Homo-oligomer: A and B are copies of this chain.
Amino acid sequence: MNDKIIITISRQFGSGGRNIAKKIAKAMDIPFYDNELIIEGAKESGIDPDMVRALEETPTNSLFYSLSTSSVFGGGQFSPIIDLPMTDKVFLAQSEVIRKFAEKGSCVIVGRCANYVLRDDPDTLDVFIHRSVDERVNQVAKLYDLSQKKARETVKKVDKQRSGYYSYYSDKNWGQADNYDLALNSGLLGEDGCVAVIQSYIDKMMQRRKVRGQR
Contact = CB atoms under 8 A, between A and B. Distances in A.
Contact of A196 (B175, B177, B200): B200
Nearest to A203: B196
A128 interface: yes
Interface in A172-186: 173, 175-178, 180-185
Given A197-B204, A200-B200, A181 B188 contact: yes
A205 interface: yes
A208 interface: yes
A189 interface: yes
Nearest to A186: B181
A73 interface: no
Given A175-B178, A178-B183, A190-B204, 11 more contacts: A128-B177, A128-B183, A130-B177, A176-B176, A180-B185, A181-B185, A181-B188, A184-B201, A189-B208, A196-B204, A197-B204
Interface of A: 12, 125, 128, 130, 173, 175-178, 180-185, 188-190, 192-193, 196-197, 200-201, 204-205, 207-208
